[in-house]
Chains A and B, each alone.
Chain A
Amino acid sequence: MSALDWASSWRIARRDLLGRFRGLRLLFLCLFLGVATLAAIGSLTSAITQELSQRGQGLLGGDVEIAMTQREAGEGDKAAFRRVGRLSETIRLRAMARGERPDSAAVLTELKGVDSAYPLYGTLALQSGVYRAPLGPDRILIGPALADRLDVKPGDRLVYGTATFTIADIITDEPDRLGEGFTLGPVAIVSLEGLRRTGLIQPGSLYDSKYRLRLAPGADAQAVREDLEKRYASAGWEYKDRDRAAPGASRFIVRMGQFLSLIGLAALVIAGIGVSNGVASYLALKRPGIATFKVLGATSTDIARIYLLQIGCIALLGIACGLIVGALLPPAIVALAGDVLPVSPGFRLHALPLVTSAAYGLLIAFLFTLPPLARARTQPAALLFRGVVDARHGIDRRSLIAMTAAGALLVALALGTARDPLFSAAVLGATAAVMLLLLGIGWGVRQLALRAPRPRRPLLRLALANLHRPGAQTAALIVALGLALTLFVTLAGIQTSLDSEIRNVVPKTAPAQFVLDIPSGEADRFQTIVRAQAPDAQFNIVPALRGTIVAYGNQRVTDLKELPDGAWFLRGERGITYSSTLPEGSELVEGQWWAPDYAGVPLVSFDAEAAKTLGIDVGDTLTVSLLGREITARIASLRKINWETMGFNYIMVFSPGTVSAAPHSLAATITMDPRQDNQVTRALLAAFPGVSVIAVGEVIEQVGAIMTQMSSAIVAAASVAILAGIAVLVGAIAASRQARSYDSVILKTLGATRWQILGGQALEYGLLAMMLALVALALGSGAAWFVIVQIFDFTWSPDWLVVLATLGGGALLTLGIGLAGSIPLLSVRPATALRQL
């Protein structure tokens, strides 16, 4: 006879399910947590990237942008641009702002000169209202951060270079701020005429000219961009269109979202352990019913269908609730995060992340439901005649195949939706390896407890026995809580080591200041001025130009469909220098350095890592576009750059004569006592009004702040893993309630007090917490060491206080929850219970 059909199975399943959810509550909670986390992360990432994409015109300041460094477009080019659309020109550079008094502080800012067409899209919002062009040549608009730093307000005066400006207003929203990319200082906006008054735009100065175009409605911005790229292929300009207005920000958001999703997936896998435990508890309660069904003629397939339908209902409910919460969380996160996020998207439902999260939830539910279901469906009907404490039957082949298929689908989904499948595979692989290791450790702990000498004290004996008794959840707890705690210890180790590197190691090795835009030929005077304020100062002064790599070997960069992995240097302009001697901080690994008086064909020394990425070697050619001119040089040598020196680390160093004739300025690092920063800056600005001085300490603060924000996001996602681990612990406590009640009743009958019983429980959970702490410390520290030393190549210097506090917190939480779950045992009345046993 064939199995029950699905309709009959559903009828029986529904009748059997009504009113009895114990065990399935854990399933619901675990799936809800995991799916809500993934849905929230995915929805937020989609919301931000979509907002970035939709606001492309405003973020870019146009439909198409053409940018160039250290030069401006000629009138002929501008006329050509105007034939394509409405044109707006801006020039942006780093410049020092200071008050009128000689002793006033100087602040590094991003100074932007705009024409009367700016902004083509969006609104430049000011404290007093909306900006109305044109801006007078002696007027300036400043960002609130600059106003705070210099303690100035509208009506006060600021000096840039050789010009003085009156502050007209405070900027509250700069529409194209994100499209400008990473900035080192607060923004200040003047007119183009005002910018020229400052005298900062000189041949060789480092500034960016941007030409934004507003096209006719319906025009294809991508096609226009591609046409311009083709027409001016050798100009060495950079192009953007509104669909990729802020590629750097988009890339960061997508990468961060992907990383957080992987953490969320790890949390969902932990939740899967909870699912498995919950289902096992539920099916244990149903054991007599399952045996009865079998007595009445149900096959294992009938059993599987009936209980899969029941479990499936609750799983779907948990997933649905998780999706709802996950979809609603992003607006709350946006409100909480404030300015930390690049944009503030409104509320919208994003189908893809919700569907993906639901798929993950279903696969995890299926994968972790199968083992206990497989055991339950194959349990013999004869269980009605024999008492069985833990019927550990093997998993049948069909179930194993189904589990393998579900696992494969899960991995395929994770890799298929990943922007960087290799990275995702590595993270998933590492998570799986850690889980297997923890499973092995869990088994080992049980064996150890089993083989340990029997303690004389009965409560300690009982505590040890509870770790290995049939049905003990020791292995599951070590995997679930161990994985979560290991994740936290890893994050603590990485975060505190990076913090230490940035705050302690970097200041020791990094110079105190970077100085840019020193006029060419003024190196000696520069040193003299600095030494007058800081006699012990050390210098590294190099020529500074900027150019774009347009070809390597026989490959033109514009012909590439996609940049090779790791070829960040092909994106946009890079710093270029020339030198007759090997620069400090570099080590020659291949080829030869040219003679100090070399005057032959253009040669270049290239970064060895970059060469490996591009697949080029000594003897190949490299072509850069420098101020609109293409220069092809032969690679004479490859260098290993020591980035830790924090000095000028150029990936391209040309032979003298190749680029030295191009207009350029000098850049310098000054190593001195940071307390001399202000006086040196004032002296330099007095002598060279156009220089920009970057205090490394301030940059470190900025980087530190960004890393703190990133850490907060990662810790928030990882917290779900701890919650899932706690859910597993709670489930384990509930599953063992009957056995513990039995023990408690017998102990009380024999004379044990409630404190003694609680003490026994404390011993058991204390042992478990201690083992978890040791495991997490070993694995977490190991993982963090690997990331810091092997991947980042930094010094391993975690804050052990923080790491141990994290561990201690996790261990105490385990102990606390275990004891809280034991309190009901204290109130079981022996007489009542014994009548029921």
Chain B
Amino acid sequence: MHMPIDPATIAIRARNVTLSLGTRDAPVEILKGVDLTLLRGESIAILGASGSGKSSLMAVLCGLERASGGDVHIGGVDFGALDEDALARARRGRIGIVLQSFHLLPTMTALENVAVPLELAGVSDAFARAADELRAVGLGHRIDHYPSQLSGGEQQRVAIARAVAPRPTILFADEPTGNLDATTGVTIMDLLFDRQRAAGATLVIITHDPALADRCGRIIEMRDGQIVSDRAA
């Protein structure tokens, strides 16, 4: 028997979420009625093979994509009612995202990359805080380097620093070790969990790697756009 959940502890609630892409003549059903509740401070792995819909689910849950049906509440805000600009504003300070291909801005240094979300949020000491975050991920000596001058692991650390710098309540990581070797990948995951704990944030990791999923407190498995299991790790 499930105990009723205190709404104050809910980080994300998704109900009957569907996502349809492609053209009107040839639609592709990516998500087929997903129900999900994530709590504050949890670490969750969304596990599934390629094409299972896990990345698309993450896109919907972090406000990068609008669901075709159902509703999504993040931090108490109904994301389904928001347009692109409102979604962008809603992400500021609330959601941090780490992507598989890092997606650093190539024309900016590590320090400038980390400072961008702080500047967008109107933080006055953006560069000082950015420098602190980079030191926290062990890149205090690389703050003036451009992405092309950093290794893959270093780029991903910058991406992590950028994601956590605004102190988000929810942290998403989509295949964060997908473009890294095994050793670097372990280091990066250690860093991610460390920064999650320091921020007290909810961590959602998208992965196809069961070993990585086992590091989280909860594992949600997806197949063909639906959740097939939701269990404690």
A-to-B contact residues, CB < 8 Å: 1-2, 4, 8, 11-12, 15-20, 288-289, 291-302, 378, 380-382, 384-386
Please judge, given known A-B contacts A1-B122, A18-B107, A297-B92, whether A378 and B84 are in contact too, CB under 8 Å: yes
Could you tell me if A298 and B64 are in contact, using CB atoms closer than 8 angstroms?
no
CA–CA, A559 and B119, complex, Å: 69
Is residue B199 contacting chain A, with contact meaning CB distance below 8 A?
no
Could you tell me if A380 and B106 are in contact, using CB atoms closer than 8 angstroms?
no
Please judge, given known A-B contacts A296-B117, A297-B117, A298-B120, whether A20 and B88 are in contact too, CB under 8 Å: no
- Write out the residue numbers on chain B whose beta carbons fall within 8 Å of the beta carbon of A302: 120
Given A16-B108, A297-B88, 8 extra CB contacts under 8 A: A12-B116, A17-B107, A289-B105, A293-B120, A294-B88, A297-B92, A382-B64, A385-B56
Least CB distance, A125 to chain B, in whole angstroms: 64
Could you tell me if A298 and B59 are in contact, using CB atoms closer than 8 angstroms?
no
A–B Cβ pairs within 8 angstroms, 5 of them: A294-B88, A297-B88, A297-B89, A297-B93, A381-B88
Is residue B154 contacting chain A, with contact meaning CB distance below 8 A?
no
Please judge, given known A-B contacts A15-B112, A380-B84, whether A297 and B107 are in contact too, CB under 8 Å: no
Could you tell me if B64 and A384 are in contact, using CB atoms closer than 8 angstroms?
yes
- Count the B residues whose beta carbon is within 8 Å of the partner chain — how many? 30
Is residue B85 contacting chain A, with contact meaning CB distance below 8 A?
yes
Within 8 Å by CB of A16, from B89, B93, B107, lies: B107
- B89-121 CB mask vs A (1 if < 8 Å, else 0) is 101110001010001111110001000110111
Is residue B65 contacting chain A, with contact meaning CB distance below 8 A?
yes
- Write out the residue numbers on chain A whose beta carbons fall within 8 Å of the beta carbon of B55: 385
Is residue B13 contacting chain A, with contact meaning CB distance below 8 A?
no
Is residue B157 contacting chain A, with contact meaning CB distance below 8 A?
no
Q: Which A residue sits closest to B163, measured CB to CB?
A: A296
Within 8 Å by CB of B107, from A1, A8, A15, A291, lies: A15
Is residue B21 contacting chain A, with contact meaning CB distance below 8 A?
yes
CA–CA, A1 and B166, complex, Å: 14
- B74-89 CB mask vs A (1 if < 8 Å, else 0) is 0000000000110111
Is residue B195 contacting chain A, with contact meaning CB distance below 8 A?
no
- B45-68 CB mask vs A (1 if < 8 Å, else 0) is 000000000011001000011000
Could you tell me if B85 and A8 are in contact, using CB atoms closer than 8 angstroms?
no
- Write out the residue numbers on chain A whose beta carbons fall within 8 Å of the beta carbon of B65: 380, 382, 385
Least CB distance, B125 to chain A, in whole angstroms: 13
Least CB distance, B156 to chain A, in whole angstroms: 14
Q: Which A residue sits closest to B90, measured CB to CB?
A: A297
- Write out the residue numbers on chain A whose beta carbons fall within 8 Å of the beta carbon of B106: 289
Could you tell me if A295 and B119 are in contact, using CB atoms closer than 8 angstroms?
no
Is residue B167 contacting chain A, with contact meaning CB distance below 8 A?
no
Could you tell me if B105 and A16 are in contact, using CB atoms closer than 8 angstroms?
yes
Could you tell me if B88 and A299 are in contact, using CB atoms closer than 8 angstroms?
yes
Could you tell me if B64 and A381 are in contact, using CB atoms closer than 8 angstroms?
yes
Least CB distance, A376 to chain B, in whole angstroms: 13
CA–CA, A302 and B92, complex, Å: 13
Within 8 Å by CB of A295, from B93, B103, B108, B112, lies: B103
- Write out the residue numbers on chain A whose beta carbons fall within 8 Å of the beta carbon of B105: 16, 289, 292-293
Please judge, given known A-B contacts A15-B112, A296-B116, whether A301 and B162 are in contact too, CB under 8 Å: no
Within 8 Å by CB of B103, from A15, A16, A288, A301, lies: A288
* Total of A-B residue pairs, C-beta within 8 Å: 84
Please judge, given known A-B contacts A300-B85, A385-B59, whether A19 and B120 are in contact too, CB under 8 Å: no
Could you tell me if B103 and A292 are in contact, using CB atoms closer than 8 angstroms?
yes
CA–CA, A385 and B63, complex, Å: 13
- Write out the residue numbers on chain A whose beta carbons fall within 8 Å of the beta carbon of B84: 294, 299-300, 378, 380-381
The 10 closest A-B pairs by CB, nearest first: A297-B92, A299-B85, A296-B117, A382-B65, A297-B120, A381-B64, A382-B64, A292-B103, A299-B88, A297-B91
Least CB distance, A16 to chain B, in whole angstroms: 5
Least CB distance, B150 to chain A, in whole angstroms: 16
Could you tell me if B88 and A8 are in contact, using CB atoms closer than 8 angstroms?
no
CA–CA, A454 and B194, complex, Å: 59
Please judge, given known A-B contacts A16-B107, A296-B162, A380-B65, whether A4 and B119 are in contact too, CB under 8 Å: yes
CA–CA, A16 and B115, complex, Å: 13
Please judge, given known A-B contacts A300-B84, A380-B65, A384-B64, whether A1 and B108 are in contact too, CB under 8 Å: no
Least CB distance, B74 to chain A, in whole angstroms: 14
Q: Which B residue sits closest to A294, measured CB to CB?
A: B88
Please judge, given known A-B contacts A299-B85, A300-B85, whether A1 and B121 are in contact too, CB under 8 Å: yes
Q: Which of B13-32 contact A (CB under 8 A)?
A: 21
Could you tell me if A299 and B56 are in contact, using CB atoms closer than 8 angstroms?
no
CA–CA, A295 and B64, complex, Å: 7
Least CB distance, B146 to chain A, in whole angstroms: 10
- Write out the residue numbers on chain A whose beta carbons fall within 8 Å of the beta carbon of B97: 295
CA–CA, A295 and B108, complex, Å: 16
Could you tell me if A1 and B92 are in contact, using CB atoms closer than 8 angstroms?
yes
Which residue, A17, A294, A302, A382, has most C-beta atoms of chain B within 10 A?
Answer: A382
- Write out the residue numbers on chain A whose beta carbons fall within 8 Å of the beta carbon of B119: 4, 8, 11-12
Within 8 Å by CB of B121, from A15, A297, A300, lies: A297
Q: Which A residue sits closest to B116, measured CB to CB?
A: A296
Q: Which B residue sits closest to A290, measured CB to CB?
A: B105
- Write out the residue numbers on chain B whose beta carbons fall within 8 Å of the beta carbon of A301: 85
CA–CA, A302 and B85, complex, Å: 10
Q: Which A residue sits closest to B86, measured CB to CB?
A: A299
Q: Which A residue sits closest to B21, measured CB to CB?
A: A386
Least CB distance, B35 to chain A, in whole angstroms: 22
- Write out the residue numbers on chain B whose beta carbons fall within 8 Å of the beta carbon of A16: 105, 107-108
Least CB distance, B73 to chain A, in whole angstroms: 19
Q: Which A residue sits closest to B84, measured CB to CB?
A: A380
Which residue, A296, A297, A298, A299, has most C-beta atoms of chain B within 10 A?
Answer: A296
- Write out the residue numbers on chain B whose beta carbons fall within 8 Å of the beta carbon of A386: 21
Least CB distance, A11 to chain B, in whole angstroms: 8
Could you tell me if A385 and B64 are in contact, using CB atoms closer than 8 angstroms?
yes
Least CB distance, A373 to chain B, in whole angstroms: 15
- Write out the residue numbers on chain B whose beta carbons fall within 8 Å of the beta carbon of A298: 88, 120
Q: Which A residue sits closest to B103, measured CB to CB?
A: A292
CA–CA, A386 and B64, complex, Å: 11
- Write out the residue numbers on chain A whose beta carbons fall within 8 Å of the beta carbon of B64: 295, 380-382, 384-385
Which residue, B65, B92, B103, B105, has most C-beta atoms of chain A within 10 A?
Answer: B105
CA–CA, A609 and B177, complex, Å: 86
- Write out the residue numbers on chain B whose beta carbons fall within 8 Å of the beta carbon of A12: 116, 119
CA–CA, A8 and B112, complex, Å: 12
CA–CA, A385 and B56, complex, Å: 8
CA–CA, A289 and B55, complex, Å: 20
Could you tell me if B59 and A382 are in contact, using CB atoms closer than 8 angstroms?
yes
CA–CA, A299 and B83, complex, Å: 10
Least CB distance, A828 to chain B, in whole angstroms: 22
- Write out the residue numbers on chain B whose beta carbons fall within 8 Å of the beta carbon of A297: 88-89, 91-93, 117, 120-121
- Write out the residue numbers on chain A whose beta carbons fall within 8 Å of the beta carbon of B162: 296
CA–CA, A576 and B89, complex, Å: 82
CA–CA, A380 and B59, complex, Å: 11
CA–CA, A492 and B106, complex, Å: 51
- Write out the residue numbers on chain A whose beta carbons fall within 8 Å of the beta carbon of B104: 292
Q: Which B residue sits closest to A302, measured CB to CB?
A: B120
Could you tell me if A295 and B91 are in contact, using CB atoms closer than 8 angstroms?
yes
Q: Which B residue sits closest to A1, measured CB to CB?
A: B89
Q: Which B residue sits closest to A295, measured CB to CB?
A: B97
Least CB distance, A135 to chain B, in whole angstroms: 78
CA–CA, A378 and B88, complex, Å: 12
Least CB distance, A427 to chain B, in whole angstroms: 42
Q: Which A residue sits closest to B83, measured CB to CB?
A: A300
Least CB distance, A285 to chain B, in whole angstroms: 10
Q: Which B residue sits closest to A9, measured CB to CB?
A: B119
Least CB distance, B138 to chain A, in whole angstroms: 22
CA–CA, A17 and B108, complex, Å: 9
CA–CA, A4 and B121, complex, Å: 8
CA–CA, A291 and B103, complex, Å: 9
